[in-house]
Amino acid sequence: MNYFLITTILVFLSAAFGFINVRFLKLPNTIGLMVITIFFTLGVFALSYFDDTLLNAEKYIITQIDFKTLLLDIMLSFLLFAGALHTNFQQLKVQRWPILVFSTLGVLVSTFLVGTAVYYLLMLFNMDVGYVYCLLFGALISPTDPIAVLGILKQAGAPKKLETKIVGESLFNDGVGVVVFLTIFQFASSGSATVSALDVLELFGVEVIGGVVLGLLLGWITYRLMKSIDDYDIEVIITLATVMVGTVIAQNLHLSAPLAMVTAGLMVGNDTMRDSAMSEITETYVDKFWELVDILLNTLLFVLIGMEMLVLAFELDYVIAGLLSIPIILICRYLSLLLPINFFKEKLDFVPNTNIIMTWGGLRGGISIALALGLTQDMHRDLFLVITYVVVVFSIIVQGLTVGKLVKKLT
């Protein structure tokens, strides 16, 4: 089975499940696609008791796809650029300081809180898991997913100030979370038993600052190129080249590609640059092109997340640990946001109950699963993959379906 056939099957399933969701379930696309795919996979499991042909085919497709590489090295750059391109830059500028603190200090605090709490939780199950591996789990589960949360918040009619905080934090903390994870991963791989906050901050600073600087440079070059011509076809291709070339450069220079793409997307998408660099027809084509890319990749991503349950080693202790981790992770997120929200709320006129809404609205998604898949067996990959999957499914389905009602009730 070649890659074209595998891609064809995934696109077909995405189209079929998307149609079923829009026609019958009418759930937000991210939630609907995951629910349908999980039920489809469970149906394949049940059918395998009579005929395992379909199960073997689905397993083969999943084993042929390197989900971690596909998402982190390819899809994420496109998704984050598209998300940043359509983010309200003026609101983001007003809320820049809390967003910066949420996506940096918040991720670091959450990583250590979650890692410590899960370390003691696993001790209750008599699981001898090193503290550094629990920190790795804290790093991979702390970033919230803008891909999952963007559409849901828009449907919920969240106040713009609140939507900007949650989406802005999610756009930036993906890149920060990946850097923190990779930093701790290096220490865990080298067998070092201790990881200091200073060690994390050192590598973190290089990748984060370097990624943002690269994004500013890419955004400025893209702006200058688009301003010098008036041809919507070529201008769309220029934005596409920015993402692809920028990702390659970031990867080769060991900078944060996600942060570079977010920064470039915000620069190209802000109103001032749009007005001076794009004609009305160019703006329409650029927006529609990236909306289509966003929808297509989102659809494929959440179908893949649903199918990833085939690679999980479901054990009762692992599942129970995953269920108990849900409230722990939510409490740690609440605590990690507490200080910055209290510091900024009077200066920036925060929406009432911002902390509760940001805690419940901080959905986890494909990035957490991709990072968990990158763990080695020595790092208790099977255990943390099951825990991550349980947390992500709960986050997207339960939190995703209720965050809109929570926003309406508390604001």
E-assigned strand segments in 166-280: none
Query: What are the pLDDT digits (tens) for 308-337?
Result: 988 888 899 999 999 999 999 999 999 999
Predicted local confidence at residue 10, as pLDDT: 92
Query: What are the pLDDT digits (tens) for 60-74?
Result: 889 888 899 999 999
Average pLDDT over residues 371-382: 93
Is 167's pLDDT higher than 80? yes
The mean pLDDT value of the chain amounts to: 89
Average pLDDT over residues 152-178: 80
Is 273's pLDDT higher than 90? no
Predicted local confidence at residue 199, as pLDDT: 62
Which two structure tokens, joined as six digits, stand for 231?
Answer: 């041809």
- Long-range contacts, stretch 347-355, CB < 8 angstroms, 24+ apart: 348/94, 348/95, 348/98, 348/161, 349/161, 350/161, 351/159, 351/161, 351/162, 351/411, 352/410, 352/411, 353/410, 353/411, 354/162, 354/165
* Cα pseudo-dihedral 302, 185, 333, 152, rounded to 10: -20
Fold classification of 68-410 is: Na+/H+ antiporter like fold (1.20.1530)
Residue 17 binned pLDDT confidence (cut-offs 50, 70, 90): very high
**pTM, two decimal places:** 0.92
Is 148's pLDDT higher than 80? no
Is 197's pLDDT higher than 80? no
Domain boundaries, the chain: 3-64, 68-410
Predicted local confidence at residue 311, as pLDDT: 81
Average pLDDT over residues 50-56: 90
Residue 142 binned pLDDT confidence (cut-offs 50, 70, 90): very high
Predicted local confidence at residue 207, as pLDDT: 85
- Look up residue 380 and give its amino acid: H
